[in-house]
């Protein structure tokens, strides 16, 4: 559902130039066209007056444009405000659950990786034994008949060792806040006045920066 806010019928608005404005423009352009040269004081006065009229019209149009657009911009600001008021607590809850689920998924993901590594080791050992047995019996088909069944069971057991929710991804980002600006400036003046982009770049190389509290925040998405 993508219509949670009532839709204003902005398309029904008709924006046009006022009749009086058209007349003022025509008069100003006619006066301007009469200025073809400025060779003496009299022509200079005429040119200056024509230019003043044109500049005044340009200034008035800019002011009129802003005034005409102002109510539309206000509607946009009101839409943003009621949208934010409506969705703020929803976003807070989504973030809270994302952190809870993300922490769980991270733990289960680690369990999954460990289980898969252990499973791979057991698979390799199982295949080695199966090959040795096949060589001893002279029946190479025995590898497929026995090993594959055991490998399938191992993989099934490995997948049962974690409870990660399928399809839910986990992303870990580095978060920070300035604990002590004085300490930070003393040790890393290049990061001051605290520049978030520079701090994030530095955090790629070290998670220990005096004056900055650094932590990881994991959430699902």
Instruction: Specify the higher pLDDT residue, 152 or 106.
Output: 106
Q: What is the pLDDT of residues 166-218, one digit of tens each?
A: 777 777 888 888 899 888 888 888 887 778 888 999 999 998 999 899 998 88
Q: Specify the pLDDT at position 139.
A: 65
Q: How far is CA 158 from the centre of its chain?
A: 36
Q: Mean pLDDT over residues 134-140, rounded?
A: 67
Q: What rounded mean pLDDT belongs to the chain?
A: 83
């Amino acid at each position: 559902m993508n219509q949670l806010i009532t839709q204003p019928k902005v398309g029904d608005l008709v924006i046009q130039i006022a009749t009086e404005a058209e007349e003022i423009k025509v008069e100003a352009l006619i006066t301007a066209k009469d200025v073809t040269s400025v060779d003496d004081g009299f022509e200079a006065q005429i040119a200056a007056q024509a230019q003043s009229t044109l500049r005044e019209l340009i200034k008035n149009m800019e002011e009129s444009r802003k005034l005409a657009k102002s109510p539309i911009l206000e509607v946009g600001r009101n839409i943003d405000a009621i949208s934010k008021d409506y969705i703020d607590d929803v976003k807070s809850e989504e973030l809270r659950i994302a952190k809870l689920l993300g922490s769980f998924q991270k733990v289960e993901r680690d369990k999954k990786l460990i289980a898969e590594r252990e499973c791979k080791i057991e698979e390799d050992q199982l295949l080695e034994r199966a090959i040795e047995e096949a060589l001893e019996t002279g029946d190479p088909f025995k590898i497929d008949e026995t090993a594959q069944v055991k490998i399938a069971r191992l993989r099934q057991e490995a997948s049962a060792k974690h409870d990660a929710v399928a399809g839910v991804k986990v992303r870990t980002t580095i978060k920070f806040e300035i604990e002590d600006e004085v300490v930070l400036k003393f040790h890393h003046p290049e990061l001051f006045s605290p520049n978030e982009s520079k701090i994030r770049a530095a955090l790629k190389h070290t998670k220990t920066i005096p004056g900055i509290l650094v932590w990881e925040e994991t959430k699902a998405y």
